[in-house]
Amino acid sequence: GDSVTQMEGPVTLSEEAFLTINCTYTATGYPSLFWYVQYPGEGLQLLLKATKADDKGSNKGFEATYRKETTSFHLEKGSVQVSDSAVYFCALGDQGAQKLVFGQGTRLTINP
Amino acid sequence: DGGITQSPKYLFRKEGQNVTLSCEQNLNHDAMYWYRQDPGQGLRLIYYSQIVNDFQKGDIAEGYSVSREKKESFPLTVTSAQKNPTAFYLCASSISQAVTEAFFGQGTRLTVV
């Protein structure tokens, strides 16, 4: 079945550093791709999405580009803030099974 | 405000008791999902429903049961057959059978003692 692999965490950075969280996927067809963020003790919130190859999703300074040739959807931000500390999940929409498939999550901590 | 509501936020139960977690949405979404999250792990799908009166098992359905009698409600029962029920449970919904973005509730943290 379809699957998502994220870089292992935890990731610790200093404020204003550049962030990359890697995400690759395995899927049949052309899934939609998503990044979700989870703050402590809360549910997940959609951060950004892309529905077809070469689409770039962006929100709150975060960006990710749907790369079909490398089956990747890496999350980037040019200058992180302490408030970006959270767990980030990459996900894809499995068209065949009609469900979302999540990566294992990457815990990000930003130090002042 | 439209959204998805889980209750309660914290739940404590004695071992061997069944417990039901509530999930209600007023987004008019057809599809609803239950996920389990354990510390340091990702989300694992328990059950999902694409339409009223129909639901499918996810990856870890053993020891759980659900019902979908109304479009807006998708309660999850954690039965005594679930070996390790202590976890954070997340409910989600999406607009249709097509796989679009999901909206999540705030979660219920279940502790079994």
- Residue A71: the pLDDT is 96
Q: Convert the pLDDT of each residue in A39-98 to its tens digit.
A: 988 899 999 999 999 999 999 999 999 999 999 999 999 999 999 999 999 999 877 767
List strand residue ranges (DSSP E) for B52-86, in order. 54-57, 64-66, 76-78
- Which of helix, strand or coil describes residue B104? strand
- Residue A33: the pLDDT is 95
Would you call A98 and B92 a contact, using CB atoms and an 8 Å cutoff?
no
Stretch B15-20: mean pLDDT, rounded?
93
- Residue B97: the pLDDT is 60
A106 CB contacts (<8 Å, ≥6 apart)? A6, A7, A8, A9, A10, A11, A21, A87, A88, A89
- Residue B88: the pLDDT is 95
- Residue A112: the pLDDT is 95
What 8-state DSSP symbol labels residue A84?
A: G
- Residue B108: the pLDDT is 96
Beta-carbon neighbour count of residue B44 at 10 Å? 15
Closest approach of chain B CAs to the CA of A100, in angstroms? 7
Would you call B106 and A89 a contact, using CB atoms and an 8 Å cutoff?
no
C-alpha angle A97-A21-A58 in degrees, rounded to nearest 5:
75
- Residue B40: the pLDDT is 73
Lowest mean pLDDT among A77-86, B40-49, B96-105: B96-105
Q: Does B99 reach chain A within 8 Å, measured CB to CB?
A: yes
Question: Are the C-beta atoms of residues B19 and B77 closer than 8 Å to each other?
Answer: yes
Tell me the C-alpha distance between A60 and A107, whole Å: 18
Q: Please say whether the dihedral angle defined by the alpha carbons of residues A39, A33, A50 and A16, taken in this order, is positive or negative.
A: positive
